[in-house]
């Protein structure tokens, strides 16, 4: 076994195939995502196939080459299907029935060999970076046009956001007049009703599952929730399965204190007493075991995974603890599924800037809160995106038509 005897050092992945030099340079210098060519896709698929084959072999579901009969041809039997991927891996170092070495024969691998091979395959599959190369039909033009498109989109969005969000420029009249419609969507209304039951002395556990990078959106969503709980005299505690979750919690609590929702010392104490446990579902289960059972759980999450884990683990402990969520707009559709009237997994949710604006109006009774003030900018940005999509589609249609016409000539 060549690699196993040499200490199991993973083999280096094969170098990119011919013609990769210039193409690689183009790819990495521009940093553009480019179509993967067939060679790369095939080699990645083979690599995955090799790993899966090693897994299947280790699980005993794949037949490995047998030790040939003494006097036989000595050629290892052919493998089929996924076995092709590991054909040639198990080189001969074999002994015959009498302990004699059989030339060209194949060893019967031991469990240790299997394990080492499995690890080697996994390491190679996971650790080896696969350089992307420009497809055979592609060129630097593709990269340039993508870069141009990216710049146009970014400049347009930046211009819209700057013009609309900087009132000191005196250009806020450019913003479309956006106001919230009357009435409330089901999610925020349900959430408010659920949290209204958390009164003085009741314990509300706030799970902060986002980091500083997502704070621009999540702080807007979390703010009114904390203000509501503080105004009702609920005993708030914070927890997270992310190392930076408690930093985000501290910032939001400080903001709430600066707005007068709670004393600064109280905000400091809550942040100091925050609990952190790593380990995804296991971490959530450990956090739910800490202290006395909460009367409500508020999951403040920017991603779907943490939200799902908190909902699931709160159900798994068997106690009927109401769970509500304050989420990013990106996972609103997922939160809505959990919040349907029949599933009952989520007793309400708010998501994104518009959800936060609704919740501000319910809690604070104002339509001019921090989230509501951003609705105009969000609306202007959305309009700009739609216009960009239409312009892009029109340009694409035009270029296709032109290409067809030139072909016809």
Partner 1 sequence: MPYWGVSIEEVGNVVGVVLTLMVFSYLIGRNPAYRLALHLFLGASTGFFFGVVCWEILILRLGVPLFVGRRYLSLVPLVLGLLLLVKAFPRAAHLGNVPVGLLAGAGAAVSLAGALLGTLVPLVDATARAAAPSSWAAEPLGWVDGLLAVAGAACTLVAFRHIGRRGPDGRAGCTWPGRALGKVGRWFLVVAFGAMFGGAVSTALTFLMGRVDYIAGFVRGLF
Q: Which is nearer to partner 1, 104 or 243 (CB)?
A: 243
Q: Which of 217, 255, 295, 360 binds partner 1 (CB under 8 A)?
A: 217
Closest C-alpha to 224, from 279, 119, 123, 300: 300
**Cβ 409 to partner 1 shortest distance, Å:** 36
Site for partner 1 in 220-249 (CB under 8 A): 220, 243-244
**Dihedral (Cα; 344, 350, 355, 358), 10-degree rounding:** 80
Site for partner 1 in 143-182 (CB under 8 A): 147, 150-151, 154-155, 157-158, 161-162, 165-166, 168
**Cβ 112 to partner 1 shortest distance, Å:** 7
7 sits near partner 1 (criterion: CB under 8 A): yes
Which residues make Cβ contacts (< 8 Å) with residue 20, sequence separation at least 6? 131, 133
Site for partner 1 in 248-307 (CB under 8 A): 276, 278-282, 285, 302
Q: Which of 229, 296, 300, 311 binds partner 1 (CB under 8 A)?
A: 311
* Cβ–Cβ < 8 Å for 133, 29: no
Site for partner 1 in 312-371 (CB under 8 A): 312-316, 328-334, 337-338, 340-345, 351-353
Q: Which is nearer to partner 1, 79 or 122 (CB)?
A: 122
Secondary structure, 3-state, 17-80 = CCCHHHHHHHHHHHCCCCCCCHHHHHHHHHHHHHHHHHHHHHCCCCCCCCCCCCCCCCCCCCCC
Q: Which of 308, 322, 348, 361 binds partner 1 (CB under 8 A)?
A: 308
Q: Which is nearer to partner 1, 230 or 338 (CB)?
A: 338
Q: Which of 5, 12, 15, 31 binds partner 1 (CB under 8 A)?
A: 31
Residue with tokens 């990106």: 330
Contact range with partner 1 by CB under 8 A, out of 69-77, 94-102, 195-203, 378-386: 378-386
Contact set with partner 1 (CB under 8 A) = 7-9, 29-31, 112, 115-116, 119, 147, 150-151, 154-155, 157-158, 161-162, 165-166, 168, 214-217, 220, 243-244, 276, 278-282, 285, 302, 308-309, 311-316, 328-334, 337-338, 340-345, 351-353, 374, 377-378, 381-382, 385
């Amino acid at each position: 076994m060549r690699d196993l005897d040499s200490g199991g050092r993973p083999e280096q992945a094969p170098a990119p195939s011919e013609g990769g030099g210039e193409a690689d340079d183009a790819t990495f210098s521009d940093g553009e995502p480019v179509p993967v060519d067939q060679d790369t896709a095939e080699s990645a698929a083979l690599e995955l196939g090799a790993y899966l084959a090693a897994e299947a072999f280790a699980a005993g579901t794949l037949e490995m080459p047998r030790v040939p009969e003494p006097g036989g041809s000595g050629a290892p039997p052919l493998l089929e299907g996924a076995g092709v991927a590991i054909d040639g891996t198990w080189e001969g170092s074999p002994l015959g029935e009498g302990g004699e070495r059989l030339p060209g024969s194949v060893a019967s691998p031991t469990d240790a060999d299997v394990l080492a091979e499995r690890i080697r395959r996994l390491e190679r599959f996971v650790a080896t970076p696969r350089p992307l190369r420009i497809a055979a039909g592609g060129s630097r033009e593709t990269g340039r046009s993508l870069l141009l498109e990216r710049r146009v989109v970014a400049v347009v969005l930046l211009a819209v956001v700057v013009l609309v969000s900087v009132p000191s420029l005196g250009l806020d009249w450019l913003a479309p007049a956006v106001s919230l419609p009357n009435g409330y969507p089901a999610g925020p209304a349900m959430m408010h009703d659920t949290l209204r039951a958390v009164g003085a002395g009741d314990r509300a556990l706030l799970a902060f599952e986002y980091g500083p990078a997502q704070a621009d959106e999540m702080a807007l969503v979390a703010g009114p929730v904390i203000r509501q709980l503080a105004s009702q005299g609920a005993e708030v505690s914070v927890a997270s399965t992310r190392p930076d979750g408690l930093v985000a919690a501290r910032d939001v609590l400080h903001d709430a204190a600066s707005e007068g929702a709670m004393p600064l010392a109280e905000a400091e104490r809550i942040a100091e007493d925050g609990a952190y446990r790593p380990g995804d579902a296991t971490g959530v289960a450990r956090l739910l075991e800490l202290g006395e059972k909460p009367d409500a759980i508020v999951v403040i999450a920017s991603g779907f995974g943490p939200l799902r884990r908190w909902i699931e683990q709160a159900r798994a402990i068997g106690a009927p603890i109401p769970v509500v969520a304050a989420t990013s707009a990106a996972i609103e559709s997922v939160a809505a599924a959990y919040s349907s009237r029949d599933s009952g997994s989520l007793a309400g949710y708010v998501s994104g800037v518009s959800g936060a604006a609704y919740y501000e109006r319910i809690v604070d009774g104002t339509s001019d809160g921090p989230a509501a003030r951003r609705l105009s900018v969000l609306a202007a940005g959305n309009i700009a995106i739609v216009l960009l999509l239409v312009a892009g589609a029109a340009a694409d249609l035009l270029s296709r038509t032109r290409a067809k016409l030139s072909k016809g000539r």
